[in-house]
Structure 1
Amino acid sequence: MKQLIFVLSFAFLSFANAQHAMTEEVSFDELVKRYSKNVYNNASKALEYATQAKNIAVVNGDAKQLTQVDYYIANCEFTLEKNKAALTHIEAAITQATPLKDVLFLYKCMSLKGNILLELGEDSKALKTYVKAQEYAKKIGKPIYEILPLCSIALIKKTHKDYEEAILMYKDILKRLNTLNETPDVRYYRLLVLMHIADTYLRLKNTAEATLYNNIGLEKSTDEQDAWAHYPLLMNKAIIRYQKGEYKLSIPLVKLVEAYAEGKNENLYITSLFYLGKNAYQLQLYKESIQHFEKTYAIMKASDDADMNEKELHEFLALAYHQTKNAEKALFHFQQYTALEKKQSAEDLKLNNETHIMVDVVPLETEIDALGKQLTQETRSKKGFLMAAVGLLILLISSIVYYRARGKRIRKKFEALLPKVSELEKDQVQKTGTQKEIVSDEKVQAILNKLTKFEKNEAYLSKECSLGFMAEELETNTAYLSKVINTYKGKSFTAYITELRINTALVKLKNNKTLQSYTIMAIADEFGFKRQETFSRAFKAYTGIYPSQYIKNLKEKG
């Protein structure tokens, strides 16, 4: 993550060679030069120089110097992962810089503050800060300055599984970069964006699009000059092979990444270990897979910064130990998996049964019985056996209680949804918002009349129904159409279209048994969604249940 957010953080500093002892008296400017020389390769030393420079600035009573060194200190502390202290200093710098109205400096302060907040897990605050940085970037008037906050915002969307929106943002950034003259910064961002687009498509299991963008990135990078991007792109290529079931072809690529990343890039290293384990598991080399998974788990537990899908790791450990007939460890990792499952935010959960290969980790009664028999053979101690047996019994009861309670909750939400569906059936034209006032503007009224016809014809079910497409169909511009929808429908364009589609899906699924037999992917396509995951997430957000749960209850109700 930090490879993304370091760029442009120090652009206004000059570099010079100066080798003086820390004990001698030096000027403010000389200390700034020493800071500049060390900031990239020795943050601790740079912090010492910045602190000394601040002491001089305090004595001088120079507000501009104080503002400058507070930024330097925050920057060093951020690099050294002292993020709380860094936040204090960058906020001081912003407070002091605001009256000075130095737009470029404020942009850099806001960018750094966003980076710090992101590392502290304050994603919402970071998002607002990056938006502010983007505002300053626009005032600067140089398009390259807008790229950093845009990349950071896209990363936040990606982190919170808003994959479709993240991809749209990254593609927009790519278009912006293609309009700029080629510079080292433009080249850097282009590689970064290609890497993230490919990675985001992989999270959507879209190997075709992932391959397209990943190959472009690999063609534009070298393993020496661009190692920071080249090896993550190689890791993407290995994951593409894995998702295609080409496990033996994936392994050599993963090993190349592992050899590079060890001791250099912890997150990339543990990702390579994890995929060595996943490939081994798919090749039924279960003991080998456990070795890789356990090594990944050990590094993850020992690190504060490891970025790893811990839930998925426990899934694979549970299944791998089950395959090697180690019931005790299989149960341990299953319990860790279920605990993490419950912690996940509802908005981040996805219904993706076709690709979720670990669904078997949720035990059925027969599976628990099998584990119990294995544990009986493996456990020689009577005490150990009794404890394990009690654990199995508790797990069985808990599983039954949990899934029955879950079924009741879903049924209750389904029953509460039916009156809404009945109301929708009564309306010949679905209305997703109400006019806030009597419309006197003829131009607005004309747009609203066209929207009514648009809704009646169900034109929103087209997958090409973007704001631009719709504005063209309604013979207006995107800004005006968006304003009309916000004012008279009471919601954004995206929310307006999504609600129309979900309402239509609710009614048609209820009344069309053939449609109920379709796959979720086919149903998503039927109602204008390009991706199954987007449809499932939107359906859940609007109704409280997933489309598969809605269909299941419709069938049971008859």
Structure 2
Amino acid sequence: MSRPQPTLFTVFLLLSFYTTMGQEGLRDTLFGKNYDELNELFYTYLPEDTLTARNIADAYLTKARAEKDTIRMAQGFRYYAAEFGPGTGLMYSDSVIDLTKNIYDKEYPARGYILKGYWSYYSDKYVKATENYLIANKYAVARNNVSQQLLIRPIMAALKHVAGKHREALAIEKAHLYALENDPEYKELYSNIPNREDGYAEDHIIAIYNLCQSYLQVREVDSSKIYIRRGIGESLEHGDTLQYYRFVSTGGVAEYYAGNYRSAIDSFTRAIPHLENKYTYTMAQFYKGRSYEVLGKDRNALSALKKADSLVEKLDYRFPELRPAYEYMINYYEAGQKRDSQLIYINKLLKLDEELLKNKSIDGEIARKYDRPYLLSQKEKLISHLEEKNNKNRIYKLLMVIMAALFGLFLVYYYQRQRMYKKRYRELLKENPAKMPDRSRTGEGAMSDSGVPAETFRSIEEGLVRFEEEKRFANPDVTLHSLAKELQTNSTYLSKVINTTREMNFSKYLHGLRINHIIQRLKQEERLRSYSIRGIAQEAGYNTAQSFASSFFRHTGINPSYFVKKLKEEKFAGEQTV
């Protein structure tokens, strides 16, 4: 669920909250806040401190009950329904529905049914999800709630796809895109929300993406390509690189179904390094592998298909198209007499069939080359053969060899790691205390490359220099959005300037500043070395020791505890020498 970002008002509210909490008690303090203040506090504490967030939600409910405000009570229940997992979510969704089902309100009880549908979908209960979204849509249409209709329509299309009704899903996606582009009520909705252009562009690009995917599901490749080209154009126009590469990857799938396998591979090769969505990445590797398979490049095909299968296991995400991939790998390993691997993929195929039938992703008998009885008989033969081959003595000897090899590898790894740690430690001691991210690319060429107006570019760059010099990166609440607001620009422009001038993204830039600065402080401030890692993390601008340690290791190649320990040892050795 989306949450508002902390604001200056939130900071003031938190100070007030902590000032009065000890005097009046937590509940009295919260009850003294108005609804907007409680809402700000709730989303500020969630998800880091769920106990306090629950107390705030309770205070919201208590206040609403005392004032007999039904809609506010529903909002209080909605906190629980939206933010605390499927069990709590389903229970409190019913509370929202029961409370509001007999009142006339534009938002309720549809919100309750939307939440119940969401958690049902999350729990793979697709029939229940469909029922609840249909009820929600009935209320949304009856009460002319355009924003709720905007939310529900693509979800209904997704549920149609799950049920295998791809033509019906396609019709919904077409209607959704048409409404976004032509319905005056939709245009009015976007005109009344903050950052309306960005919000509309994002929803519009997603609608195009869903439509081209739906066309692929029904194998209307030419129609899909039309919308893929539109999506690529829109993504480039709005500088949305994430969606751009998703369209490039989808273009690869379209080329695969069109029989243009080399073009498909080229598209996947371009897109895969930039795909952040794990499901999209999985499908790209899958279709890249299938393309190599058709071209007879078995080694490349196996490499890509194994990457896809690895993510399938991690994500617990299975789809019907996996069947021919598993069949291909079974045949490949059978031909190579690699029975262990053959057995692995027979088991995977059997498991896939069970899940597809259970989830009703396909109807009736599965069309396949290896039917279930044959697969089971093959499995039994392979198990019998492997049991005969691997007797107890061989297993014992093999285990001893493996243990000895692992121990040897561990020793080699341990000593190499210690050498590497010492080398990195020495390098860190020699580094310039004033080291900052490279700012060499700040000329006219950099401005042109960034796509940011020159005056805005210079203003942002000056602001970044002040940000670095004043060490404001040590504030743990700094985010791309908060810094953009502080520099009176938007996050897109700020991100582009940082990528252009520092040649890195915002996250890497912020972590680099923090780690460089805390390294120099540790070298110079003996007092700081006596802090716990958690204390040093707070000084560096991190909320947790774990996030600080991870960032420190990524940046330096060693752990902060090792760095501090070596500094202390050298200090002690120096004192002993004196």
Q: Quote the Cα distance in structure 2 between the aligned partners of 1:305 and 1:76.
A: 24
Q: Quote the Cα distance in structure 1 between the aligned partners of 2:245 and 2:41.
A: 33
Q: Is 1:68 aligned with 2:75? A: yes
Q: Counterpart in 1 of 2:223?
A: 209
Whether the 8 Å contact between 1:273 and 1:296 is mirrored in structure 2 is: yes
Which structure 2 residues correspond to residues 431-510 of structure 1 after superposition, within 5 A? none
TM-score (ref. length: structure 2)? 0.53
Q: Counterpart in 1 of 2:129?
A: 126
Whether the 8 Å contact between 1:290 and 1:320 is mirrored in structure 2 is: no
Which of residues 119, 122, 130 is equivalent to 1:116? 119
Whether the 8 Å contact between 1:31 and 1:53 is mirrored in structure 2 is: yes
Which of residues 153, 157, 171 is equivalent to 2:156? 153
Cα distance, 1:119 vs structure 2: 0.9
Q: Is 1:18 aligned with 2:10? A: yes
Q: Counterpart in 1 of 2:510?
A: none
Q: Counterpart in 1 of 2:104?
A: 101
Cα distance, 1:123 vs structure 2: 1.2
Cα distance, 1:282 vs structure 2: 2.7
Whether the 8 Å contact between 2:251 and 2:267 is mirrored in structure 1 is: yes
> Per the alignment, in what secondary structure is the counterpart of residue 270 of structure 1?
helix
> Per the alignment, in what secondary structure is the counterpart of residue 103 of structure 1?
coil
Q: Deviations over 1:60-95 (max 9, x none)?
A: 434544421221232223xxxx22222122222222
Q: Counterpart in 2 of 1:230?
A: 244
Q: Counterpart in 2 of 1:273?
A: 285
Q: Deviations over 1:503-558 (max 9, x none)?
A: xxxxxxxxxxxxxxxxxxxxxxxxxxxxxxxxxxxxxxxxxxxxxxxxxxxxxxxx
Aligned residue identity for 2:299: K
Aligned residue identity for 1:76: E
Q: Counterpart in 1 of 2:38?
A: 31
Judged with a 3 Å threshold, the aligned counterparts in structure 2 of structure 1 residues 175 and 223 are, in CA distance, closer, same or farther, namely closer
Whether the 8 Å contact between 1:197 and 1:213 is mirrored in structure 2 is: yes
Q: Quote the Cα distance in structure 2 between the aligned partners of 1:334 and 1:51.
A: 48
Cα distance, 1:164 vs structure 2: 1.2
Of stretches 195-204 and 123-132 in structure 1, the one that deviates more from structure 2 is 195-204
Judged with a 3 Å threshold, the aligned counterparts in structure 2 of structure 1 residues 28 and 302 are, in CA distance, closer, same or farther, namely farther
Q: Deviations over 1:119-151 (max 9, x none)?
A: 111211111211121122223325443222222
Aligned residue identity for 1:117: S
Whether the 8 Å contact between 1:51 and 1:69 is mirrored in structure 2 is: no
Q: Deviations over 1:327-377 (max 9, x none)?
A: 442344235324533654497547999xx9xx6556999xx99xx9xx9xx
Q: Is 1:291 aligned with 2:297? A: no
Whether the 8 Å contact between 1:286 and 1:324 is mirrored in structure 2 is: no
Q: Counterpart in 2 of 1:169?
A: 172
Judged with a 3 Å threshold, the aligned counterparts in structure 2 of structure 1 residues 240 and 335 are, in CA distance, closer, same or farther, namely same
Judged with a 3 Å threshold, the aligned counterparts in structure 2 of structure 1 residues 57 and 178 are, in CA distance, closer, same or farther, namely closer
Which of residues 68, 84, 88 is equivalent to 2:87? 84
Which of residues 341, 345, 351 is equivalent to 1:329? 341
Structure 1 gap ranges (5+): 1-5, 386-558
Which structure 2 residues correspond to residues 143-542 of structure 1 after superposition, within 5 A? 143-181=146-184, 182=187, 183=190, 184=196, 185-222=199-236, 225-227=239-241, 229-261=243-275, 264-304=276-316, 310-322=322-334, 324-338=336-350, 340-341=352-353, 344-345=356-357, 348-349=361-362, 382-383=388-389
Number of aligned residue pairs: 356
> Per the alignment, in what secondary structure is the counterpart of residue 102 of structure 1?
coil
Judged with a 3 Å threshold, the aligned counterparts in structure 2 of structure 1 residues 288 and 96 are, in CA distance, closer, same or farther, namely same
Q: Counterpart in 2 of 1:494?
A: none
Cα distance, 1:196 vs structure 2: 1.9
Q: Deviations over 1:181-208 (max 9, x none)?
A: 5444554443233222221222223211
Cα distance, 1:306 vs structure 2: 7.2
Q: Quote the Cα distance in structure 1 between the aligned partners of 2:370 and 2:318.
A: 24
Whether the 8 Å contact between 1:31 and 1:49 is mirrored in structure 2 is: no
Cα distance, 1:283 vs structure 2: 3.0
Whether the 8 Å contact between 1:180 and 1:186 is mirrored in structure 2 is: no
Cα distance, 1:235 vs structure 2: 1.9
> Per the alignment, in what secondary structure is the counterpart of residue 104 of structure 1?
coil
Q: Quote the Cα distance in structure 1 between the aligned partners of 2:217 and 2:332.
A: 23
Of stretches 91-100 and 337-346 in structure 1, the one that deviates more from structure 2 is 337-346
Whether the 8 Å contact between 1:319 and 1:361 is mirrored in structure 2 is: no
Aligned residue identity for 1:154: A
Q: Quote the Cα distance in structure 1 between the aligned partners of 2:51 and 2:238.
A: 32
User: Identity, % of aligned pairs?
Assistant: 15
Cα distance, 1:236 vs structure 2: 1.1
Q: Counterpart in 2 of 1:424?
A: none
Q: Quote the Cα distance in structure 2 between the aligned partners of 1:342 and 1:210.
A: 31
Of stretches 269-278 and 183-192 in structure 1, the one that deviates more from structure 2 is 183-192
Judged with a 3 Å threshold, the aligned counterparts in structure 2 of structure 1 residues 205 and 269 are, in CA distance, closer, same or farther, namely same
> Per the alignment, in what secondary structure is the counterpart of residue 290 of structure 2?
helix
Aligned residue identity for 2:301: S
Q: Quote the Cα distance in structure 2 between the aligned partners of 1:351 and 1:58.
A: 49
Whether the 8 Å contact between 2:57 and 2:79 is mirrored in structure 1 is: no
> Per the alignment, in what secondary structure is the counterpart of residue 18 of structure 1?
helix
Whether the 8 Å contact between 2:289 and 2:300 is mirrored in structure 1 is: yes
Aligned residue identity for 1:123: Y
Judged with a 3 Å threshold, the aligned counterparts in structure 2 of structure 1 residues 317 and 132 are, in CA distance, closer, same or farther, namely same
Q: Quote the Cα distance in structure 1 between the aligned partners of 2:341 and 2:293.
A: 16
Q: Quote the Cα distance in structure 2 between the aligned partners of 1:142 and 1:257.
A: 38
Q: Quote the Cα distance in structure 2 between the aligned partners of 1:200 and 1:325.
A: 40
Of stretches 120-129 and 268-277 in structure 1, the one that deviates more from structure 2 is 268-277
Cα distance, 1:298 vs structure 2: 2.7
Q: CA RMSD in A?
A: 4.0
Whether the 8 Å contact between 1:32 and 1:49 is mirrored in structure 2 is: no
Cα distance, 1:51 vs structure 2: 1.5
Cα distance, 1:118 vs structure 2: 0.9
Aligned residue identity for 1:141: N
Whether the 8 Å contact between 2:120 and 2:126 is mirrored in structure 1 is: yes
Cα distance, 1:312 vs structure 2: 4.6
Q: Quote the Cα distance in structure 2 between the aligned partners of 1:307 and 1:89.
A: 32
Q: Quote the Cα distance in structure 2 between the aligned partners of 1:88 and 1:363.
A: 40
Q: Quote the Cα distance in structure 2 between the aligned partners of 1:193 and 1:158.
A: 15
Cα distance, 1:313 vs structure 2: 4.4
